[in-house]
Copies of this chain bind each other. A is one copy, B any other.
Amino acid sequence: MTVGPHRADPAAPAPTVVTLAGGVGAARLLTGLIRAHPATEQLAVVNTADDTVLHGLHISPDLDTVVYTLAGAINPDTGWGLAGESWQAMDALDRYGGITWFRLGDRDLATHLYRTHRLGEGADLAEVTAEIAAAWGLELTVLPVTNDRIATMVTTADEGEIGFQDYFVRRRHDVPTSAVRVAGIESARPTPGLLEAVAGARIVVIAPSNPIVSIGPVLAVPGVRDALAARREAVVAVSPIVGGAALKGPADRLLRELGHECSVVGVARLYREVAGTLVIDRADAQLFDEVEATGVSCVVADTIMTDVDAATALARVVLGGSAGGGSS
């Protein structure tokens, strides 16, 4: 078992690349980043606002998607859960009329059992995450953005405010929304070492994750937005919007419903205070000038990560794209 450096370890080298991450899109970019740059010098700061407690188990969907993906164990068809999973527990839960819309595979359950047990013992989420990542042999450090409990809440037209997984999984994000807030965010503290890592990194990447419900909560943890703003010229964001649409998930719909422009220009406006550079897809090349007009340097590249090679190529663009450089 390879144990990755944990931020709590004073002997661990300071990461040169820090990536703010949600789930699937971030995990794919990270598979490229660890091929383009030594994994041991990298830190992924992962959203925990879509964590949920279900059946008494602490579930951290974005952390697990990042770890499973980097371990090569993710289910490639769904982008979540483990490949080759079995579903005996969920099938048996049906007998009781239990909650089965949030699918927990039998092997995946072990991750939640372990996390819940360790948290119950008094470990914090960063420690448990480091243990889980180490068990999967990851060399990159995976850090939850906070050890405190934060929770994205979505206001829907028909059910009022509901939890994120209720919105995202049970309702399949197929419902009108009018507001998003992150419960607990005011008192959440950034995970120890996180702000220092941002301050010391050569480059900070904002992964192509949902700006509202993935990157939004990460930036909203007190101190994180300011830490990025102080390093704005070293921060490179990758647009999750391509051709006016999200490749996956509800980013496009949420942007529109919450009053943002659903385009790379809208993304640039959302990030302009914290990111000096935005990488957009070639499909949006005609918006280069509009992006730059927001005060953000624009880089045009192939951003659709169809495979690891595509992710690695994008990662190389990202790693070379800081400090105000930009070209198509």
Residue among A98, A113, A132, A135 facing the most chain B CB atoms (10 A cut-off): A113
Q: Are B135 and A95 in contact (CB under 8 A)?
A: yes
Contact A89 B107 (CB under 8 A): yes
Q: Which residues of B sit under 8 angstroms from A117, Cβ to Cβ? A: 54-56, 98-99
Distance of A96 Cα from B58 Cα, bound (Å) = 16
Interchain CB contact under 8 A, B54 and A56: no
Number of interface residues of A (CB under 8 A): 34
B106 engages A89 (CB within 8 Å) = yes
CB atoms of A116 and B86 under 8 A apart: no
Residue of B whose beta carbon sits closest to that of A96: B114
Contact A135 B57 (CB under 8 A): no
CA gap between A93 and B117 in the complex, in Å: 11
Q: How many copies does the complex hold?
A: 2
Those 9 A-B pairs whose CB atoms lie nearest each other, nearest first: A92-B110, A88-B106, A56-B116, A55-B113, A92-B107, A93-B110, A96-B114, A98-B114, A106-B106
Q: Is A242's CB within 8 Å of the partner chain B?
A: no
Please measure, in the bound complex, the distance between the C-alpha atom of A99 and the C-alpha atom of B91, giving whole angstroms. 24
Query: Bound state CA distance, A120 and B135, in angstroms?
Result: 30
Chain B residues with CB under 8 Å of A310's CB are none
Contacts known (A56-B56, A58-B56, A106-B86); A96 close to B120, Cβ less than 8 A:
no
**Residues of chain A in range 120-138 having any CB-CB distance to chain B below 8 Å:** 120, 131-132, 135-136
Which residues does chain B contribute within 8 Å of A58, judged by CB atoms? 56
A275 vs B96: C-alpha distance when bound (angstroms): 37
Given contacts A89-B89, A116-B56, A117-B56, contact A110 B131 (CB under 8 A): no
Q: Is A111 an interface residue (CB 8 A)?
A: yes
Residue-by-residue, is A52-85 near B (CB-CB < 8 Å gives 1, otherwise 0)? 0111111000000000000000000000000000
Is A109 an interface residue when CB atoms closer than 8 A count as contact? yes
In contact, B120 and A56 (Cβ under 8 angstroms): yes
Q: For window 266-309 of chain A, which residues contact chain B by CB distance below 8 Å?
A: none
Interface flag for A247 (CB, 8 Å): no
For residue A90, CB closer than 8 A to chain B, the reply is: yes
Query: Can you list 21 A-B contacts (CB < 8 A)?
Result: A55-B113, A55-B114, A55-B116, A56-B56, A56-B57, A56-B120, A57-B113, A86-B88, A86-B106, A88-B106, A89-B89, A89-B106, A89-B110, A89-B113, A92-B108, A92-B109, A95-B136, A96-B111, A97-B135, A99-B117, A106-B106
